[in-house]
Structure 1
């Protein structure tokens, strides 16, 4: 009888131990499930952060399409867009302004299908450029439905800083154009700087004067000009800018040798560039004395 009671007690102890172990394993299983669920829910956010860190536009667009629907939206103080291509364009413009930017982000807070986190943008010298907080709504299927970004105004670039950045980028575009046209004759690289349908207004008094629309027409004008003279740069350009109007003006001097007469003439030139989103949309050329230059090109003596 005593042995039976002892066996019963031992059985109860073993049962309790096993039940505790089962409950503990079940708890771990549930906890792991919750972590896995959170991890899966955060996948589109992790991918979204990689999107912003990717500087190759084509690679980035493929990644965007994996988490972004055509009716997904993005809003912040600088943009309000819908669709994957539009988001890619926003990021392209961002890297034009901040080519050395490094993005970092904080811990994610998840509630139902909503996620929020803070972020910072540093420049190439680790100086804080701006910071803020994003709020994302997910669709529960591994994709982002909407993201709203808020900027910390204390570190957001001032209007003057923004204009300065635009001015710097515009200078780079115009300087590259000048190099392609007058030094390397690299029209393939130049074409990438020109907006589709861009207008070149060449002085009408010149043999190749007129209005040329589209880069293909520009190249015809450039080719025609070489029928009349050869040139060397006599004075490198001086740059002026009004970033608020997206305008750059350069003043430089060329030394021309007319092909008909063999004579030389020093010609000061001013070219006015209109730009938009990092591309040239229009050029207007002005000559110190257009009439004198035209007669010089046509003269046979």
Structure 2
């Protein structure tokens, strides 16, 4: 009898390992995609795991579709032709996979590091990847301080401080261009497009009806000076007012600026659907 139980236990373990392996297959292919230097060969690989509406987002790009992903990687190898990419163990939870990675040069010197989060569709394909760069690895302290001294960084940092810490809407309003656009995902209970800071404040008030928020991880700032764009990455800890449940959610917010003022904000939640369901769920 013990032998039978043991055999059943082994079958169960094999089943669990097989499920994990199946979920990791698209990630294995995705990593091969990044290691492939030939653009045509790479695109063929991408098409095996990537859909037309699959998205990739990191501090350097926010794109949709396989051709666009291939172009991102082409641009990466133009900058780092001899780059060597390594990755750590994968953490699998439901249809989500996360892992750390590093990029080394030909002399084994660290260029940058970070962490990727992938959402799978359960059919062997990737529906979304969000990449977070480790600023402590990617930028030196002096470079970070230098970036924070730029006008655009200052404006976004002041906005973040006013919204999440001091709640000083008067100070915030001076940072916002008249008619600036704030775009929230349509699936959220406070989703929609808000024009002008007065409308923004109504959106803030509406969102506060659904959850209490704490900043779990302070933002990391990135900028594309040529586009007058600043991107911040941070993690929020929310407590839903309907259910009392809590949820951690990584977020990136994209800011467009002009003449030292914010003209548009677009937040991206790691999983908008999960966040919307969390806010609407009851006890």
**Normalised TM-score (structure 1):** 0.47
**Normalised TM-score (structure 2):** 0.49
